[in-house]
C-alpha cells in the first residue's frame, strides 16, 4: 500500500488561514457542519464480530463507498447500523 501523501504541502503552507478556510467552505465535498449536525449525530460502534455475506449493491453506490478509501466496507456497515438503529428507535416510540 502506498502511504505517500498526494497533498502539495508547499502550496498549503503558502496560503493564509483565511484562504484555506475559504477553500474548505467552497469545496462541494466538504459541506460546513452546523450545530444541527451534532444534535442528530449518533456514535456508531461495532462491538460484535462481523459475518461475511454476499450482497448485491448498485454499482454507483459501491463505487462511491470505494472512493472513500480504506475502510469503505466498515463505513457501509456503519451506515446500515445507523439506519437500523434509527428505525428501531422510531418503532419503539410508536409502540409506546
pLDDT recorded at residue 73: 92
| CA 12 – CA 31 distance, rounded (Å) | 20
Half-sphere exposure of 88 (CA within 13 A, CB side): 6
Please write the tens of the pLDDT for every residue from 36-64.
888 888 777 666 788 899 999 999 999 99
pLDDT recorded at residue 46: 63
| CA 18 – CA 62 distance, rounded (Å) | 36
* Domain range annotation of the chain: 9-40+48-95
Q: What percentage of the chain exceeds 70 in pLDDT?
A: 86
pLDDT recorded at residue 87: 87
Amino acid at each position: 500500500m502506498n502511504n505517500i501523501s498526494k497533498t502539495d504541502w508547499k502550496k498549503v503552507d503558502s496560503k493564509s488561514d483565511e484562504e484555506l478556510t475559504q477553500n474548505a467552505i467552497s469545496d462541494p465535498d466538504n459541506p460546513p457542519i452546523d450545530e444541527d449536525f451534532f444534535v442528530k449525530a449518533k456514535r456508531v460502534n461495532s462491538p460484535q464480530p462481523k459475518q461475511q455475506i454476499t450482497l448485491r449493491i448498485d454499482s454507483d453506490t459501491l463505487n462511491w463507498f470505494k472512493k472513500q478509501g480504506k475502510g469503505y466496507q466498515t463505513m457501509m456497515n456503519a451506515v446500515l447500523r445507523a439506519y437500523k438503529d434509527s428505525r428501531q428507535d422510531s418503532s419503539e416510540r410508536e409502540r409506546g
